[in-house]
Amino acid sequence: MESVIVAIDGPSGTGKSSTSKAVAAELGLSYLDTGAQYRAITWWMLTNGIDVDDPSAIATVCDKPVIESGTDPLAPTISVDGVDASGPIRTREVTSRVSAVSAVPEVRARITELQRTIASAAEKGIVVEGRDIGTTVLPAADVKIFLTASPEARAARRSGELKGKEATDLAATREALIKRDAADSGRKTSPLAKADDAVEVDTTDLTLKQVIECVVALVEEKRASK
Ligand SMILES: Nc1ncnc2c1ncn2[C@@H]1O[C@H](COP(=O)(O)OP(=O)(O)O)[C@@H](O)[C@H]1O
Ligand SMILES: Nc1ccn([C@@H]2O[C@H](COP(=O)(O)OP(=O)(O)O)[C@@H](O)[C@H]2O)c(=O)n1
């Protein structure tokens, strides 16, 4: 069977990661979480004392960290300079700083190149999730999906994941999420956007299972017509 490239974009909490992993596992494809790569480079900047409010400081050093992504959908990994970064990249500090780092054009150029290399190495194909996959990273993807959901649904899903000290109330989670969406959609270089030829799926009232089934059906339809 020919390889297939699936791009899944959308704002935070719309179900990109859970859907992409499940679809990739079901169809025997690789999986790439591009948000984890932007989080990883942000974590490296923070731990190395780089001022993340200074785009030129970020641009100067952004080629330094070695970022590696494991693409097995059942056990995805992310490491920086050989160190497992899967835990530290999910802290609130990284989450609140990642939009500033990911807006720097030099960072995007570097990470985009990495993403294209990973996608072209995936023999059977790959599901790549992010913000600009269908528009910029892989504009020739076979299937493009843009997931949406109401801010209320997204905030409820996200705050359900936070535990203990990091747990905030729903309103604070909603505010932080809306702020990040605005920064990601408003930046100059490859902002969060739906590609003209992407299929938009509003997941507000859908279960995760329904979203997975919908995407699997779209991919199978595309494969049948290839
Ligand atoms: N359709 C859905 N209905 C309810 N919960 C969902 C749905 N899709 C995802 N979730 C849950 O919402 C949370 C955020 O999903 P995730 O896949 O991480 O979103 P994203 O990658 O877009 O930020 C996860 O806890 C996930 O299990
Ligand atoms: N293709 C991508 C993916 C993520 N990002 C950036 O990385 C951040 C974290 O992405 P993520 O997918 O881990 O975020 P969540 O949806 O998991 O909260 C986003 O807020 C963007 O600033 C990006 O700019 N382009």
| pLDDT at 82 (0 to 100) | 98
As for the ipTM of the complex, it is 0.98
| pLDDT at 166 (0 to 100) | 52
Extents of the domains making up the chain: 4-218
Options 3.40.50.720, 1.10.3720.10, 3.40.50.300, 3.40.109.10; CATH for 4-218 is 3.40.50.300
- Ligand 2: list residues with CB < 6 Å: 12, 34-36, 38-39, 98-99, 102, 130-133, 180, 184
Please state, as a whole number, how many other Cβ atoms lie within 10 Å of the Cβ of residue 122: 19
For 132-159, b/e burial (b = at least 16 CB within 10 A) is bbbbbbbeebbbbbbbbbebebbbebbb
Residue (of 153, 217, 220, 216) closest to 10 by Cα position: 153
Could you read off the pLDDT tens digit of each residue along the chain, which spans 226 residues?
679 999 999 999 999 999 999 999 999 999 999 999 999 999 999 999 999 999 999 999 999 999 999 999 999 999 999 999 999 999 999 999 999 999 999 999 999 999 999 999 999 999 999 999 999 999 999 999 999 999 999 999 988 776 554 556 788 889 999 999 999 999 999 999 999 999 999 999 999 999 999 999 999 999 888 7
| pLDDT at 160 (0 to 100) | 74
Q: Cα–Cα distance between 5 and 116 in angstroms, integer?
A: 11
List the Cα angle 31/151/200 in 5-degree steps. 50
- Which residue from 8, 157, 204 has its CB within 8 A of the most atoms of ligand 1, so it is best to mutate? 157
Q: Cα–Cα distance between 90 and 218 in angstroms, integer?
A: 31
Give the position, in ligand 2's atom list, of the atom nearest the Cα of 9.
Answer: 1
What's this model's pTM, rounded to 2 decimal places?
0.96
Helix (H, G, I), strand (E, B) or coil at 142: coil
| pLDDT at 167 (0 to 100) | 52
Q: Is 159 annotated among the ligand-binding residues?
A: no
| pLDDT at 173 (0 to 100) | 87
